Structures are given as C-alpha cells and as structure tokens.
Structure 1
Amino acid sequence: MSEVDLTGLAQGGKEQVDSKPLTPMQEVNAALKECGFGIFHARLLLTSFIGIIASVLVSTSTSYLLPSAECDLHMDLVQKGLLNAIPYFGMLFSSVIAGFLTDTFGRKIFITTGLSGIFIFTNVAASSQVYNVLIAAKFFEGFLFATAFSAAVTLTSEFCHNGIRDRVLICQSSFIAMAQIIIACLSWVILTNDWHVSFFDGGFVLNTWNFYLAIMSLWSLVATILYLFIPESPKYLVTQSKFEEARAILLKIYKTNTGNSEENFKYKDLWKKSKATIPEETDKINRSFSHNLVVGLHNTKPMFKRPLVLHLILICTMNFFIMSLYNVLRLWYPQVSTVIEHNSFVTPDGENQNLCGMLDSYTSTFRNDNKTTSDICVPVKSGSETYINSIIIGFICIIPFFISGILVNRIGKKPLLITATMISLAATFSLRFASSKVAVVTLFALNTAILQMLMSLSQAVVIEFFPTTTRTLAISMIMMAGRIGTLVGNVSFPVLLKMACVIPFSTMSGMMLCVVTISMFLPSKKK
C-alpha cells in the first residue's frame, strides 16, 4: 500500500461542561463513539482489505511477472526498472488533483471509479503482446489507483471516532502485508505453470503471465462491487451541509453495530433544530459544481500557511525517501531472489561472496548477453524458494503493525518514527554485506516491515495535523512525493546497480539517515 482523522475533535465524545457548543465535526465524533465498533466497521474493513489487495497488485504484479515475461517482451534490466516504476508515474498525474476533488466532491465516487478502471486496464495489460502496450496499461492502472487509494483510506478513518482511529489506521495498513502474502501465494500457484494458448496462427498468444494478470484483475472488480454498498463519509457530508444524509448514515451505523432501535440512539435528533436555520437554497448551492470548486479552493488555503505548510514540506520530503526505499526493495526482491536462487554465495574458485558480489556478477553477465545477438531467449523463472521467501516476508511485515498499534498511544508517533527509521537504516546498510540466503531474507523482511510502518505513521501524522477539509489533499501530496521517490528509485536502481552494487545500497542508507534527521524536526503532537 494507507490515513485517519486525528484532528482535535471532542475527546472520546465526552460532554463539555462549559457553554461553548460542539462543532458539527465534534458532534459527528461523539455520535460515532455512541455507535461503537461493530459489524459495520468489520464490513468496512473487509471491503477495505479487498480494495487494498487490488491496489497493491497495481505495482506488485509487475515484479512477479518480470522473470516470466522478460523473453516474451524482450526486456533488458533498465526496461524492467521502468516497468516497475511506471504505475507510480501514472499516480503523479492524478494524486493531488484527485485529493483536492475528493475533499470537494466526496470519497465514494472516486473509490468506485478508480477500482473499476483498474479492472479494465489490468485486463488490457493481460492481453498485451508487446512491451509498449503493457507499460501503457500499467501507467493507467497507476493513474486510477491514485484516484481511489487516498479516498478509500480517508473514508475508513472518517467512520471511526478519535479514540480508535489510530489503531484502525494501523490495522488497515497491516492489510498491505497481508495482501503481499496472498499475492505471493497466488503468484506461486499461477506463474509456476507453463500455460501457452495461441490464436490466429500465432498472431495473438497468451502466456502464463497473461493469465496471471487476468485472474488478478478480479480483485478490483470485487472491491468495486463491495464499495457500492458502503455509504459516503458523514464528515464529508457535514462539510457540504448535508446534515440529513449524515444523520441517516449515523443512524444506520448505530443500528448495524448495536442491533438497537434508532430511538435508543442518543443523537437521533442531531442537527434537526439547527436545520431550520439553514436556508433551503443552501442545498441547491452546495450541489453546484462551481460553488463546490470555489469552496474547496478556499478550504485549502490554511494548508499553505504556517505552520501547516512547514509540516507538509517535512513530511513530503520524509515520505519521498521512505517510499523510494520501500518500493525498490519490495519490487526488486523477486528478481534479486531469482538471481540468488540460480547462483551461489560460494564462487567457482571456492571463495565466499556477499550479496553485492553476486549482483555484480549478474549485472556483468546481463551486460555481456545484451551485446550479443541470440536467437533463443531462455527466461530464468522464479522457483518455489522465491515465492516462499516472499510469503515469509509478508508475515514478518505484519508484526510491526501490532507493536506500533500498542505503542502509538503510549509513547507517541514521533519517537516511533525516529526509532523505526534508525532500525531501517541499520538493515539497509547491512544488506549489501549479507552472505547467506537467510541473512538476505531476514534483512529484506525487517526493512520492508519497518518501512511499511513508517509510511503508516507518516500518514497518521498528516491526519493529526490537517483538518477534514484538506486531509485527503494533504495525504495525496505526501503520497505524490513518495511516488516521485518510487519512480526515481526504480529507474535509478538498475542504472546504479550496473555501475557497482555498493552504490545503490550506500545511497539508500544515506536516504534513511536523512529521514532520521527530518523526524527530529517534526512536532510531537498537535497543540
């Protein structure tokens, strides 16, 4: 993969003893606390889980099909890096605009549009016969992913009161690790087959990786259908003065979670008295596209003033480095593991070599092969070991979410950020010296797990400091910065790897050192 509302709302829904009235957002928070956590939230998390699997597939499916498709599509090392990076290039074109429009026009429409679009273009990718078609389809998958992801995470967060929101966010973020396990298992089952179907006398050929993409597209189709049954965020509706719709949704959540009649709901008459003071024309105005656009632009102004703009710059820079490293390690692991699987840490001369020595040998051979013309290309496919290790990494990636879920409310986000970043720095620096398969898998697993947690924490920090009217836009901006980092990282990694293995790993270690420094300048909590 993920974004929650941690703004200064009514704490735990406690009634205020002073004469200052609750704001509509505080009233929503109090009503959500009265609704509790129940069947509705379980259904919401299940829907989110399916959606996250579909979202993770946008980038992860590419990394698994590279060894299988390299001969069919005649890919060299740089083309593989570009294919890994292209979904993030597509995300750059839509993330900020989608974030702004989502805060202005609602969460749900962008979620369903994005997921259904991913289904369509994944099937286009599945039918591709040449590299250019595949890379174009992956670009549009990334474009549509960005329209859905921030909105989906924000939607989940805004159905939770601030007493449980941090933990729900971390739980939802852990779905990314679970998705990687499921994807690795399905990839193992599908890509280890040798399927080959030819049509029109060989004019149109479907290989194993084509079927793999077609099967994986079903996740986005199911997610689209499930999200159709999830209501719009009551917090968004309140910002649009749609109080009747917001109250109806809160009543539905209460009845679903508790099984009680709406007459028992403490906030069943919420906003009914104040509704009389709202002119009838307001609803008509709020339905106006131009009015919503002007209001949305007005609501973004505080985000570009001190202190919010300084927080935004720091977190965007931090997320640039975090997502760059995370996605380089995650997307290149199947390829690196395949190299390890077909080579040895002991050279033909009987000497031991580390990971960098092995990768230097591989890139040297790859360069030499590209200089000669060969009529027959034999792909070096991933074996069971690669998929098993990917599954192990996925399971390990879940652990930090449980740890951070316990610690986030006790020691705070900033100390967790600093500590986790230092662990990632040590793991990244040590990776190039790894001299066994166990060491490589352990360091990859530790690093990706910590980096996933760092992304979740950085998003939680954004949600704590940015109000509802700018939250999705702020998240979209930090995700855009991270996607730029991913794009730069995946394109530059194979180029630097060709020079010498030590260069990309030293660069990545330096990036995490920058994140440690930036984390120290973040405020501890919202005042």
Structure 2
Amino acid sequence: MSDLDLPALAAKEKAQAREDWKTPMKEIDAALIACTFGRFHIKLLSIAFMGFMAGILASSTTAYLLPSAECDLKMDLLQKGLLNAMPYVGMLLSSVVAGFLTDAFGRKIFLGIGFLGLFIFQVIGGSSQTFEVLATAKFFEGLLYATAFSACVSLTAEFSYSSIRDRMLLCQSSFIAVSHILIAAMSWAILTNDWRLSFFGGKFVLNTWNFYLYIMSLWALGAFFMYVFCLPESPKYLLTQQKYDEAREILIKIYRENTGKPAETYPFYNIWKDKNKHSIDETPEHHVHTNIRHQIVEGLYNVKPMFQKPLVVHLAMTCCSNFIIMAMYNVLRLWFPQVSAIVEHNPLTEGQDLCSVLDTYTSSLKQVIVHNSSYVQEVCVPTKSGHETYINSMIVGFVCVIPYFITGMLVNRVGKKPLLIVAGLCSIASSLGLRWANSKTLVVALFAVSVSISQSMLSLNQAMTVEMFPTTSRTLAISMIMVIGRIGTLSGNIAFPIMLEMGCSIPFFTISGCMVFVTTIAFFLPSKKK
C-alpha cells in the first residue's frame, strides 16, 4: 500500500494526533494496574469461555453428528469431508476483513454481530433436512465466528495490564480444552438417545442430531447477550479514537468493580480530562460524516507498518508456524473420534499397531464402497459411536488442560519463546510415536499429548503476536495468522485422508517433519517486543 492510496488530510491528522494518543497509551497500563485483578477480570474470562465454547461448537459438532446423520442426509465420504471443512471456508473469507474493521470500528459491535449470527445459523443447521442446507449453515457459522474471534482475543488482552496479560490469554486459550471435554460429554448425553419428531406427514423430521444442534446453539445466544450487555468497549480502542472521557469512565467502573472502593479513591480519576477539547466544537453533521470515513482511513494507515520491516518478517514467521500448528491440531482433533471408533470396533491384537488397523480399515472401506455402491440407500443404517469413543474424547480434553497450567506457571519466568521450542520438540516425539502405537491406551495417550501440546503452541503463538504488534494493528495481525492457520486446517483435512490411503505411515511422518520446521522457526522469533 502506497501513500497515494491515502488522502493527504488523513496523513496530516495522523501526524497531529500521534502525540495526543502516544502518552495516553503509555498511561493506560498504569491505570489498569491501579484497577487490580478482580471480579471484572473473572467476569471477562467467564464470558470469554462462553464465546469460545460457542465458536468451537461451530466446527466440533460435525465430528460427533456424522455417524447419526449420515443416513438422514444421505452423505458419502466426500460430503462428510466437505461438511468438516465448511466452517473453515467461512472463517477464511471473513477473518482479515473482520480484523481490519474491528480495529477501525471497535470490538463490541463485531462480538454482537458474530455471536447473534452464529446462533441463527446454528438453529438453521439444526432444522436442516438436506446436506446442502446443513453445509451452508456450517459455512456461515464459520464466517460469523471468525468475525467475533479476533475481537474476543483483543478484548481480553486490552483489559489486562502487562504483568497478567500472558496468563489471561493462556487461561482463555485453555477454554478450548475445557470446551472439548464439555462437548464430548454433551454429545454423549444427547446423541446416544433415540429422539424423533415428525411434522407435515413426515416432510419435516427432527432426529436426535437436530435436537443436538438446537441445544448447542444456546451457547452462542448466551455469548451474544453477555458480550453486548455485560462488558464495555476496550479502553485502548477508545484511546485510538480519541474518546478519552469514555475510556476514563470504563476504567473507573473496572476499579470500582474490582476493589469495591468509591470512584474518588481511584488514582487516575482525572486522567485525560484535558484531552477531549478538540472534538467538542464539531457540528453533529460533520462529525457523523467524517467519523466512518476517517476511521477507515486511519485503519488503512495503521496497516502500513505491518508490511514493513521488522513487523513483516515477524508476521511471516508467525503465519508459517500457525499454518502448520493449526493443520496438525485440527487434523488430529477432528479425526480422533473416527480413529477411536475404528480402534473400538477393531481391537489391537498382539503384533498389530495403529497403522496396521487403519490400513486394514481403509482397504476394506474401498471394497465395501465398490461392492455396495448401488445398494447404499437400501441398507444404510447409522452406526453410532460407542461409549468408549466419547470417554476417550473426554480424556483427551482433560489432558489438554494440563499444559495450560504448566505454561501459565512458567511463562513469566521462562518466556514464551523457550516454551514454544520445548513444546515443538515434545510434539515431534508424540506425533511420531502414533505410527507405532500398539494398544488402545497408547493411542489415546499419544493423541491426547499431540493435541494438547499443539493447542498450547497455538496459544503461545497468539500471545507472541499480541506482544509483537501495536494496538492499532493487533487485531488484524491476529486475524491474518488465524486465516493462514485455517488454510492449514483445510489443507490438512484434505491431505490427511489422501495420505492415509497411500499408507498410514505417511501422514504421521509428514506431521512430525512439519513440526521440526515450526520448532526451527521458533528459534528466530523475537523474545520480547521491540
């Protein structure tokens, strides 16, 4: 982007305003420290948990409902793969645009739009009677959750002062693991039932998996109400818009909520009171006319440093890392219920390992498809996952919580970069070990370790991105690494079954090799913000 792309007036206003907000941005961390850690931050994390749960459901419910819905929706293997991929296609299309607009117009508006839209399309997905309707609903679920995700991460980071920010983000990221436990438990409780409700002479039928999607949609509805009505806008964003009075009032409310003391005792009670004079003289018409245009221009201007050294180099490295980490994480996470079900129905005997069972399964699947292709509709019987699959999924979820406690305790002492390197080495060993896993216990253990470590690496990568990029382009940077990561998820889920058909060893060796590359990149990432 060149300077000719931006109006000269915006450049002048930017240069004039830079000195106005530079000092407040330095002061706000001290103002947040004075607010202390308290009830507001606990409320912030609780609401973030509801938001994370709603978003993870957009992609995770598919893996559990496929066995129950395959006959009702007449899905073949290709359609199942497409259904798994649809949320990520939606995320790809909205992430960067939503990140840019969030930096320009604020966090709360996109949190509201994202979660309300997510609820609506989850209800539509629950009402679907055909594969096409469900796939379309899943696409919009991904699109709308991506709209809210970057704002969710930025809001948590910007309400936290520097000494607790890393732990807040790691705690927030741990909600992913907790969500997987709850999703597996709720799926077990709901999908093992046999519910069926028919309307209009059987033209509109609600099966167990339809009610499952209805129930899960309530998380998105709850997140919408909590974010819109229980949390204020980010004070750091308000400072970039020179809304000093609003930012001050929010800080005072946080102080009162956390400490229980009157506002007059807040050390920064009069902060920035002399900063808002220039905006009072504007007429309402002119302010409304220039506000949107100016915010967009300011947003474009703030993007420029991201594509200049050193930030562009840091962005490229974190994007490459996120591509591989998210590909590994989501491939192992989304395929685990199916692998667990295969092992459950084809127990490992002496002398067998995971790859021998998977190779046998893929070979038999090809033969069944060729032999029975003309009779699929007649003999289709949904094969529900056994209790063991749900229990194993919950075990994986519990194991995924452990690395967050470890990194939470060590991140301030050791640093994010060393933790990322160590996690990369552990990930290489665990993913490689899956090739020779020769018992159900070992299969579950290695899957759990691989998923949990890759999940921790994602959170560390995001935390480093938050640290490396300034407030004015932070949400866009997070959005960009998530977009690249979601491309990795799509690529991984397409490549994994192809490589699996070529031979079980190939995908596991490939995953390990890619994690070697990620660990190498980690050595060149900056340790601290410049």
TM-score by length of 2: 0.92
Match of 1:194 in 2: 194
How many residue pairs get aligned? The number is: 504
Match of 1:369 in 2: 368
Amino acid at match of 2:89: F
Inter-partner Cα distance in structure 2 for 1:430 and 1:247:
54
Q: What secondary structure sits across from 1:23 in the alignment?
A: helix
Distance 1:386 1:502, change over 3 A: same
Inter-partner Cα distance in structure 2 for 1:377 and 1:430:
36
Report whether the alignment pairs 1:456 with 2:459.
yes
**What pairs with 1:103-114 in structure 2 (closer than 5 Å)?**
103-114=103-114
Q: Work out whether residues 159 and 233 of structure 1, in 8 Å CA contact, stay in contact via their aligned partners in 2.
A: yes
For residues 324-362 of structure 1, give each alpha carbon's deviation from its aligned partner in whole angstroms, at most 9, with x where no partner exists. 00001111111111111111112xxxx531111111111
Greater relative CO (CA pairs within 8 A, separation 6+): 1
Inter-partner Cα distance in structure 2 for 1:282 and 1:333:
60
Match of 1:226 in 2: 226
**What pairs with 1:215-254 in structure 2 (closer than 5 Å)?**
215-228=215-228, 229-254=230-255
Inter-partner Cα distance in structure 2 for 1:365 and 1:123:
37
Report whether the alignment pairs 1:27 with 2:30.
no
Q: Work out whether residues 89 and 142 of structure 1, in 8 Å CA contact, stay in contact via their aligned partners in 2.
A: yes
Match of 1:304 in 2: 307
For residues 140-159 of structure 1, give each alpha carbon's deviation from its aligned partner in whole angstroms, at most 9, with x where no partner exists. 00000100011011101111
* 1:476 paired residue among 471, 474, 479: 479
Match of 1:436 in 2: 439
**What pairs with 1:210-289 in structure 2 (closer than 5 Å)?**
210-228=210-228, 229-276=230-277, 280-281=281-282, 285=287, 288-289=291-292
For residues 142-201 of structure 1, give each alpha carbon's deviation from its aligned partner in whole angstroms, at most 9, with x where no partner exists. 000100011011101111111111111111111111111111110000011111222222
Q: What secondary structure sits across from 2:436 in the alignment?
A: coil
**What pairs with 1:22-421 in structure 2 (closer than 5 Å)?**
23-228=23-228, 229-276=230-277, 280-281=281-282, 285=287, 288-346=291-349, 352-371=351-370, 372=372, 373-374=374-375, 375-421=378-424
Inter-partner Cα distance in structure 1 for 2:283 and 2:322:
39
Q: What secondary structure sits across from 1:256 in the alignment?
A: helix
Amino acid at match of 1:196: R
Q: Work out whether residues 86 and 487 of structure 1, in 8 Å CA contact, stay in contact via their aligned partners in 2.
A: no
Q: What secondary structure sits across from 2:197 in the alignment?
A: strand
Distance 1:359 1:272, change over 3 A: same
Inter-partner Cα distance in structure 2 for 1:503 and 1:205:
42
Q: Work out whether residues 78 and 495 of structure 1, in 8 Å CA contact, stay in contact via their aligned partners in 2.
A: no
Match of 1:507 in 2: 510
Distance 1:110 1:379, change over 3 A: same
Amino acid at match of 2:464: V
Inter-partner Cα distance in structure 1 for 2:525 and 2:422:
14
Alignment RMSD: 1.6
TM-score by length of 1: 0.93
Q: CA deviation at 1:279?
A: 5.8
Of residues 439-448 and 355-364 in structure 1, the stretch that sits farther from structure 2 once superposed is 355-364
Amino acid at match of 1:403: I
Q: What secondary structure sits across from 1:430 in the alignment?
A: helix
Q: CA deviation at 1:238?
A: 0.4
Q: CA deviation at 1:282?
A: 9.7
Distance 1:291 1:199, change over 3 A: same
Inter-partner Cα distance in structure 1 for 2:435 and 2:81:
19
Inter-partner Cα distance in structure 2 for 1:277 and 1:291:
15
Q: Work out whether residues 348 and 438 of structure 2, in 8 Å CA contact, stay in contact via their aligned partners in 1.
A: yes
Inter-partner Cα distance in structure 1 for 2:332 and 2:109:
33
Report whether the alignment pairs 1:447 with 2:450.
yes
Q: CA deviation at 1:522?
A: 1.1
Structure 1: gaps of 5 or more residues: 1-19
Q: Work out whether residues 338 and 380 of structure 1, in 8 Å CA contact, stay in contact via their aligned partners in 2.
A: no
Q: Work out whether residues 118 and 144 of structure 1, in 8 Å CA contact, stay in contact via their aligned partners in 2.
A: yes
Amino acid at match of 2:77: L
Inter-partner Cα distance in structure 1 for 2:468 and 2:454:
21
Inter-partner Cα distance in structure 1 for 2:337 and 2:283:
55
Match of 1:526 in 2: 529
Q: Work out whether residues 77 and 494 of structure 1, in 8 Å CA contact, stay in contact via their aligned partners in 2.
A: no
Inter-partner Cα distance in structure 2 for 1:21 and 1:470:
15
Inter-partner Cα distance in structure 2 for 1:21 and 1:355:
58
Q: Work out whether residues 21 and 242 of structure 2, in 8 Å CA contact, stay in contact via their aligned partners in 1.
A: no
Q: What secondary structure sits across from 2:430 in the alignment?
A: helix
Inter-partner Cα distance in structure 2 for 1:336 and 1:210:
24
Inter-partner Cα distance in structure 1 for 2:120 and 2:365:
35
Inter-partner Cα distance in structure 2 for 1:262 and 1:367:
70
Match of 2:519 in 1: 516
Amino acid at match of 2:458: M
Q: Work out whether residues 180 and 394 of structure 1, in 8 Å CA contact, stay in contact via their aligned partners in 2.
A: yes
For residues 452-480 of structure 1, give each alpha carbon's deviation from its aligned partner in whole angstroms, at most 9, with x where no partner exists. 11000001111111000000000000000
